[in-house]
Structures are given as structure tokens and as C-alpha cells.
């Protein structure tokens, strides 16, 4: 049965916190991201290695806390997408990164992920993203996954290949307006 979280949310029939659950993986836990995670995540996201190819760190702790507070609505500002964010906690340890999914109609989802560089090279990001993908398939009926990365970001590319993603066609890149220095990857779930 397909649960239409957006319809239930906009009708006020469920609370935003009921749209997202904790997820357990072997070496880490995915916790629904909340404003109170901002302080620890501000440190994680201050890591310059995360921005080698794109983006910039949060400008301040207050700004990050406010952003995380807004994201607790679990819906895009236009009300059309479910925005699911989880922070990653090493089992009984510190926060080390996050995973996120943007859910669109017809079982489509765009995913993203970041892990503090102190934790790279251990398969933790693969484990976290796989746990999120399993959750998206099981509880949100996601069937078609997408991710975009800069061509030069080979760590991200390898992660997606390990998870069974393949590059989209040139046509799909054009259709979706993907920048010339980016690669769109996709995976169809059974
Ligand atoms: C993209 C990112 C999450 C990948 O992190 P990562 O540590 O390379 O990914 P994993 O946790 O899956 O680790 C994989 C590496 O660990 C190795 N590894 C060790 N043990 C492993 C295990 N049990 N399972 C899988 N891989 C394992 C793999 O061989 C792989 O090594 P390789 O990079 O030489 O191929 C990280 O580089 C990052 O946060 N980058 C900055 C943000 C970013 O670019 N985000 C994506 C934007 S599109």
C-alpha cells in the first residue's frame, strides 16, 4: 500500500515527526535530523575536505540550527516534495555526517550524502546510503533513485557504483538540465 505522506501532512492527519523514522545499520544509526543536532553537525560540516568540489560550509551555528528547524517540516517549501534528512551516528559514538532524500511523485527520489573526512575509506558512507535506500524502498515505495555529482568527485562516483547506480544517458542529462561538469547517476529498484 502506498502511503501518501504529503497528502496526510497537508490534511494535518499526521505530524511531520511521524514521516521519518530512525534506521539502524551495522556500524551506525540514522537519526531523523532535528534542530538539536545542529551543534554537533556544525563541527562535522566545518571540515574543508567536504567542499573540494562544491558547496560551502554553514555560515554560523545559528543559521544551521534555523535551517535544521525548518527541515523538521519534512516538506519542501512548495509542498510538493517530501524532504527526508538523517544524521549519521557511529554506534554509541559521535555524529559523522548525514544522508538525505528528496521524494517526488511516482516513486522517484534524489539522494545526497556527506561524511566527515576522518571517517572516509571504511565503507561507512556506503553502509549509510544503502540503509537509507532500503528504508526508502520499504516505507516510501521509492523505485527510481537519482544522484548527481561533479565529474571530478571520484569518491562519490565509486560509492554510487558500489551501490549499483549507473550513469544516465546524454538525453536524460539534457532533459534534467544537469550542468556540464556534473554526472547524473540512477538506479532502478525491483
Ligand atoms: C562521497 C563520500 C561520502 C564517500 O566517502 P567514502 O569514505 O569514500 O565512502 P565509503 O564510506 O563508502 O568508503 C569507501 C571506501 O572504503 C573502502 N572500504 C573499506 N571497508 C569497506 C567496507 N566494509 N565496505 C565498503 N567499502 C569499504 C572502499 O574500498 C572504498 O575505498 P576507495 O575509495 O578506495 O574505493 C565522501 O567522500 C564525502 O563525504 N565527500 C564530501 C561530500 C560529497 O562529495 N558528497 C557527495 C556529493 S555528490
Q: In this predicted model, what pLDDT tens digit does every residue of 175-185 receive, in sequence order?
A: 999 999 999 99
CA–CA distance, 119 with 106 (Å, rounded to integer) = 35
DSSP alpha helix (H) spans, 52-91: 61-71
* 122-161: pLDDT as tens digits: 999 999 999 999 999 999 999 999 999 999 999 999 999 9
Is 9's pLDDT higher than 90? no
User: Whole-model pTM?
Assistant: 0.96
C-alpha cell at 150: 561533479
Is 107's pLDDT higher than 70? yes
Work out the pLDDT band at 112, boundaries 50, 70, 90. Answer: very high
Query: How far, in Å, is the centroid of ligand 1 from the Cα of 96?
Result: 13
Query: How far, in Å, is the centroid of ligand 1 from the Cα of 114?
Result: 10
Is 2's pLDDT higher than 80? no
Q: Which residues line ligand 1 (CB under 6 A)?
A: 50, 112-115, 120-126, 149, 153, 155-156, 158-159
Vertex 151 angle, CA 59 and 97, to 5°: 40
Query: How far, in Å, is the centroid of ligand 1 from the Cα of 161?
Result: 11
Neighbours of 68 (CB within 10 A): 20
In order of 18, 66, 87, the CA distances from 125 in angstroms are 25, 26, 12
Q: Is 154 left (phi over 0), alpha (psi -120 to 50) or beta?
A: alpha
Neighbours of 182 (CB within 10 A): 16
DSSP H or E segment with residue 14: none
In sequence order, the 6+-apart residues with CB closer than 8 A to the CB of 186 are 144, 145, 146, 147, 165, 166, 167, 168, 172
CA–CA distance, 72 with 124 (Å, rounded to integer) = 25
Q: Minimum mean pLDDT among 2-16, 21-35, 55-69, 85-99: which range? A: 2-16
Q: What is the DSSP letter of 102?
A: E
Query: How far, in Å, is the centroid of ligand 1 from the Cα of 77?
Result: 31
Amino acid at each position: 500500500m502506498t502511503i501518501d505522506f504529503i497528502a496526510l501532512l497537508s490534511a494535518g492527519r499526521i505530524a511531520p515527526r511521524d514521516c521519518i523514522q530512525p534506521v539502524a545499520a551495522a556500524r551506525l544509526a540514522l537519526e531523523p535530523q532535528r534542530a538539536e543536532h545542529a551543534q554537533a553537525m556544525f563541527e562535522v560540516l566545518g571540515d574543508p575536505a567536504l567542499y573540494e568540489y562544491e558547496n560551502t560550509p554553514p555560515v554560523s551555528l545559528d543559521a544551521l540550527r534555523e535551517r535544521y528547524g525548518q527541515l523538521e517540516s519534512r516538506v519542501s517549501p512548495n509542498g510538493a516534495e517530501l524532504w527526508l534528512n538523517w544524521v549519521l551516528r557511529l554506534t554509541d559514538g559521535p555524529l559523522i555526517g548525514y544522508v538525505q532524500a528528496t521524494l517526488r511523485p511516482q516513486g522517484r527520489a534524489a539522494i545526497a550524502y556527506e561524511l566527515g573526512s576522518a571517517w572516509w575509506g571504511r565503507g561507512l558512507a556506503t553502509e549509510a546510503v544503502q540503509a537509507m535506500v532500503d528504508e526508502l524502498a520499504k516505507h516510501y515505495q521509492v523505485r527510481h533513485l537519482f544522484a548527481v555529482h561533479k565529474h571530478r568527485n571520484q569518491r562519490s562516483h565509486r560509492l554510487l557504483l558500489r551501490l549499483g547506480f549507473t550513469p544516465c544517458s546524454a538525453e536524460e542529462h539534457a532533459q534534467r538540465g544537469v550542468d556540464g561538469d556534473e554526472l547524473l547517476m540512477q538506479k532502478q529498484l525491483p
